[in-house]
A and B are shown apart, each in its own frame.
Chain A
Amino acid sequence: MRFALSREQLDFSRSIGALLAEADTPGVIRAWGSGKHETGLTLWQRLAELGVTALAVPERHGGLGADAVDLVVALDALGYHAVPGPVTESVATVPALLGECGEIDQAATWLPALASGTSIATLAAAPDAPYALDADIADIRLCVADGVLYEFDRPADAPLSSVDVSRRLFAVDSPARSEIAAVMLAIHRTLPVAALATAAQLLGAGRRLLEESVDYAKQRFQYGKAIGQYQAIKHMLADVATQLELARPLLFGAAVAIDSASPDASRDVSAARVATADAAYQAARTALQVHGAIGYTAEHDIGLWLTRVRALTSAWGTQATHRSRVLGELASGAGRAS
């Protein structure tokens, strides 16, 4: 057993981080939210050049056929920088779904385009994900209803707004759609990938919220002291660090479970989603409390992460859904931990 990232995986994470650190993602997020997608699409293209969009695409379709651990490494970095757009859908879930579907004519065109970053995909699949994120700019617009996969037309309506300004959501019942294939089993197998991708971004966002809060606590002075000297602040941040540290191995354990086709993969993914979302949410609440009023302003960037965490916490399955999956699998005796 070697349950730790490899040097290559750490390097990959660092190179994504280096690219995104220079990209002014807060500016990109705000522009994206107001419908100005240029800077965001440029950023997506640069991530594609690093191979991020090719990770989940099979090699025979021009992708890297990377394993779930690599995908988690990348999506954690994207979450850390709060990259806007249909990350969960386009980078992870749609490639996984098309891979599970077997023979679909469109796959041969779509998958290479997703890998190279020339196309972006979105996907809605009620009840876990009833709305399609960024359907106005996505080239591949898919939804699953009653076990059938449809492609739907570019929506004419304005997006529904989200607490996360970057998340432009679209209802999928009004645009015209055409049936592609029955995907009852494939979507069942794909939902854990969507939950895993969400969990990875939540962990990254939580880590960022903690780091920003620690930095702020060192710089902000009240009563003549850095507020980070006060135990009231220290103890909140120590609790956040503890929750994030312990959520992380669940996330990578779930990725390993998927890669090894473990019968417990769905349980392990849901466990990871529950823990990462709880930890990230605690990080978000703590970050706001540590920042005080400045954190409550739209000008300050911390709110972009706070609202991202809130939105992702109910995307691709609520916490209640995932807890009930864990308990259901445990109760059915499917899951002994060792």
Chain B
Amino acid sequence: MDLEFDEATLAFREQVRDWLATNVPERPLESFNTARGFEQHRAWEAKLADAGYAAVAWPAAYGGRDASLLEWLVFEEEYYAAGAPARVNQNGIFMLAPTLFSHGTEEQRARILPEMARSDRVWAQAWSEPDAGSDIAALRSTATRTEGGWLLSGQKTWSSRAAFADSAFGLFRSEPDSERHKGLTYLMFDLDAEGVQVRPIAQLDGEYGFAEIFLDNVFVPDSDVLGEPNDGWRVAMTTANNERGLSLRSPGRFLASAERLVDLWCREGDPTDTALGERVADAWIGARAYQLYTFNTVSRLAEGGELGPESSVNKLYWSHLDVALHETALDLLGPSAELTGESAPDTGRWSSGYLFSLAGPIYGGTDQIQRNIVAERLLGLPRESTASKNRGAT
């Protein structure tokens, strides 16, 4: 058991660090949930892609550099430590792409991944519907067979990035009258296609981080079905595990925030306020725990292990860590904590990070859903029954 990086990984870290030191914009970009900020981030992604850093763990043929999972973690640590911009195409790179690797055709991968890497096409997710939130299998949007493809109708909501993105992916009921997880198909569609209407929704911070999508007989060719028709639930589970698990929120992000929090404590903390000091320590301990937990996961995966319900442990942990870390920063900042934007301490990093952290225990499956998964699939506790007839069963 060790925590040593080999020479090649250390060299890669140096190379990434050097590139970021020269290329990360000095002034933070505007939020990608604004029209202008979105295009700034798209340009940044193209620059990353040109240097081969947009999706390091992908095969080189699609714009990656065949990096190992460990190298990817190292990249992430350096990326967030350098204060590089948030990833505008994260729905594509970290959720759709792993699904394409697992279930897509070679034609789809060759067509979609390179332009995703450059963010020539930015992706939104389209999971939830007005009556299908945590209970995603209750979804009612339909895909109807037509010549050469499908016609999509219905309504999606809370679609992150949809206000400004180019395309979206989600599940549609393709077998009329099918129940729950059956008869669903995973489809990709363009947000500027005929019959699509996008209504941006302002979030807590006033910006348009998500949107409603209305679909009225939107044509999608067969080539944009991911996996087999009516097998969408199984295909989507790949995305869900990636969202909850390793790839969406890597430890580097939290470690960088925790180290900034320690710096903030050293600069502005009241050393006699031991209660707050303990929370600073806990935030760093939590980030370090997540880093080491992930090193263990990567070691297990390297030996043929799989990501299963542990993804939910992961998501429960980092979403709470992120909230606690930002709450601690705000408490440390005192009266100036409520300020946002340029005039706020650290140009508003803590207040905007705080508002963003509050979404963590909701998106990608709420805390309550994750706890059910951990309890039932990891601990083996019985599913909830509506009747009391199975007394004695376990």
Contact = CB atoms under 8 A, between A and B. Distances in A.
Q: Do A and B bind each other?
A: yes
B382 interface: yes
Interface centre among B288, B385, B393 (most CB of A within 10 A): B288
A3 B299 contact: yes
A34 interface: no
Contacts of A238: 316, 370-372, 374-375, 378-379
B146 interface: no
A333 B391 CA distance: 59
A3 B303 CA distance: 11
Contacts of A171: none
B285 to A, nearest CB: 5
A286 to B, nearest CB: 12
B375 A235 contact: yes
A4 B284 contact: no
A238 B320 CA distance: 14
B282 interface: yes
B381 A217 contact: yes
B300 A4 contact: yes
Contacts of B289: 246-247, 249-250, 271, 275
A230 B384 contact: yes
A317 interface: no
B278 A320 contact: yes
B379 A274 contact: no
Interface stretch (A86-94, A130-138, A148-156, A321-329): A321-329
B10 to A, nearest CB: 10
Interface in A1-59: 1-6, 9
B295 interface: yes
B281 A324 contact: yes
Contacts of A231: 368, 371-372, 384
B394 interface: yes
Given A234-B375, A256-B2, A326-B285, A242 B277 contact: no
Contacts of B371: 231, 234-235, 238-239
A323 B394 contact: no
Interface in A120-155: none
B354 interface: no
B265 A331 contact: yes
A263 to B, nearest CB: 14
Nearest to A252: B1
A245 B293 contact: yes
B296 A219 contact: no
Nearest to A331: B266
A320 B274 contact: yes
B2 A2 contact: yes
Interface string A239-279: 10110011111101101110010000000100100110000
B201 interface: no
B377 to A, nearest CB: 10
Contact of B299 (A1, A69, A257, A331): A1
A65 B75 CA distance: 37
B384 A214 contact: no
B253 to A, nearest CB: 13
Interface centre among A239, A249, A256, A268 (most CB of B within 10 A): A249
A327 to B, nearest CB: 4
B259 A337 contact: yes
B290 A1 contact: no
A237 interface: yes
A289 to B, nearest CB: 15
B358 interface: no
Contacts of A296: none
Nearest to B320: A242
B284 A3 contact: no
B383 interface: yes
Contacts of A294: none
Task: Give the interface size class of chain A.
Answer: 35 or more
B3 A242 contact: no
B385 A229 contact: yes
Contact of A234 (B265, B295, B381): B381
A252 B289 CA distance: 10
Given A3-B296, A234-B371, A323-B281, A228 B382 contact: yes
Given A235-B368, A323-B282, A331-B262, A6 B277 contact: no
Interface in A202-247: 210, 214, 217-219, 221, 223-226, 228-231, 233-235, 237-239, 241-242, 245-247
A226 B389 CA distance: 11
B280 interface: yes
Nearest to B278: A323
B317 A275 contact: no
Contact of A224 (B6, B299, B380, B388): B388
Contacts of B382: 218, 226, 228-229
Given A221-B391, A327-B280, A337-B255, A253 B292 contact: yes
A297 interface: no
A3 B5 CA distance: 11
A327 B376 contact: no
A249 B296 contact: yes
Contacts of B313: 241-242, 245-246
A237 B375 contact: yes
B77 A338 contact: yes
A60 interface: no
B394 A3 contact: no
B4 A1 contact: yes
B5 A1 contact: yes
B24 interface: no
B295 A1 contact: yes
B372 A330 contact: no
A331 to B, nearest CB: 5
Interface centre among A6, A260, A338 (most CB of B within 10 A): A338
Nearest to A251: B292
B271 to A, nearest CB: 9
B67 interface: no
Interface of B: 1-6, 9, 70, 77, 255, 259, 262, 265-266, 274, 277-278, 280-282, 284-293, 295-296, 298-300, 302-303, 310, 313, 316-317, 368, 370-372, 374-376, 378-385, 388, 391-394
14 contacts: A3-B2, A3-B298, A4-B299, A229-B384, A234-B381, A235-B372, A237-B375, A242-B374, A249-B289, A250-B288, A252-B1, A324-B277, A337-B255, A337-B287
Given A275-B285, A337-B259, 10 more contacts: A3-B2, A228-B381, A233-B381, A238-B371, A241-B378, A246-B293, A249-B292, A250-B288, A323-B277, A337-B291
Top 10 A-B residue pairs of the complex, sorted by shortest distance between their CB atoms: A224-B388, A234-B375, A249-B292, A238-B374, A238-B371, A228-B381, A4-B299, A3-B295, A235-B371, A323-B281
